[in-house]
Amino acid sequence: MPQFLNITDPDFDQKFDALMSMKREADSDVDDIVAGILANVQTHGDAAVLELTSKFDRHDLTPETLAFSTAEIDAAIATVPDDERIALELAAKRIRDYHTRQLPEDAWWTGEHGEGLGWRWTPVEAAGLYVPGGIASYPSSVLMNAIPASVAGVENLYICSPTPDGEFNPLVLLAARLSGVETIYRIGGAQAVAAMAFGTQTIPKVDTITGPGNAFVAAAKRRVYGRVGIDMIAGPSEILVIADKDNNPDWIAVDLLSQAEHDESAQSILITDNADFGNAVVAAVEKRLETLERRDIALPSWRDYGAVVVTRDLEEAAKLSDKLAPEHLELCVADAEEYSKKIRHAGAIFIGAFTPEAIGDYIGGPNHVLPTARSARFASGLSVLDFMKRTTLSKMTPAALNAIGPAAETLARSESLQAHGLSVRARLDQLNDTGDTE
């Protein structure tokens, strides 16, 4: 059974704080293992990647077979059933349309003294996209990572997706093709992150690495950050549903299970202002678990990390939600769109009872790579901006330098940075000598 908390209980604050701080990440020894893997790949390149792929994925490769050939991709795509291909094409179109709207605009304007100021956005040159692999891999993850990069204008895109025992999902290759990515390496784990971050004899070094993975992938991304950019350090998945009593308990139950079936460490929480409804949802979850295919994963997730929180009203529910800052937030309440304005911290908000979180995982349009572990307090989901950088622009005219240069010189002197001040003063002196201050 999940935890059952009531905001009227005298020890509620203590229990809710414990709920927020539950440790669901991997053990610390993962980082030590990853450090060794990164050092190995950085030193030995392809040889280390091939050795580790054989060890962890039981798949023997050569430098020539690290990537899928075009013929292999074509053959795999040909096996995809029509209904799955059509669904994936629709998802790709919707995701591309949504992310195209995120493209930022360059700016240039003239300041009060005639100076030019602005900024310019440019894409990174190369991006590495990590996609969990094997038969249980997720083509949706390919679309969510590759399409924003493509929209941003990244010229060189590479996917790393492990193929344990040589198995792979043809839909992943189709998703890559639909996203404009032709180079797909069949490697995974920390060794794939290392290969993209450092480069090997076969795998090019990239500028940024994005995409979800297991604890080893997350630890590797954390360690290579600074050498390359990363999107975020993603932890186990989570969902918070705020629902009133005027909902179908079974709908809410399967919404909670939609995240619980991801991972035994995933967390599903319901906040409601009606205790009877909360009990009805728990009963519906238990009934669904009897027939759920991934019961062995969803059950321990719901049992160990699930919770039902009862509040006096929905105002309190919104405040608790902001404390949790959930990755996914469903609002199944009256006038959900207006209610959503009360929420400050959430990775993604799904508004209304007819908007299950699963729509966002596949076909809604917004990105499903989202901040976890309360990091939605300061972070956002993956977007086109993760593959772009902003360069500021400034151009001083003689008149502008004459107007603002003395203040710069004064500030440089106050910081005891003489050369800074001299670089401005040398120009001001020439302007004064020539009288060219307009």
Does 155 participate in catalysis according to the annotation?
Answer: no
Amino acid at 417: L
> What are the contacts of 413-416 at 24+ separation with CB within 8 A?
none
Cβ–Cβ under 8 Å, residues 278 and 272? yes
Amino acid at 437: T
Strand-strand pairing, 238-243 and 328-332: parallel
> Could you say which of 238, 261, 264, 327 is catalytic?
327
Cβ–Cβ under 8 Å, residues 302 and 256? yes
Does 327 participate in catalysis according to the annotation?
Answer: yes
Q: Considering only CA atoms, which of 385, 366, 394 is closest in space to residue 124?
A: 385
Rounded to whole angstroms, the Cα distance separating 165 from 6 reads: 48
- Which residues have a Cβ under 8 Å from the Cβ of 363 and sit 6 or more positions away? 87, 90, 91, 94
Angle, CA 314 vertex, CA 309 and CA 317 arms, to 5°: 45
Amino acid at 157: L
Amino acid at 307: A
Element (H, E) at 46: helix 46-57
> Could you say which of 59, 328, 345, 368 is catalytic?
328
CA 261 to chain centre: 19
**Active-site residues: which are they?**
327-328
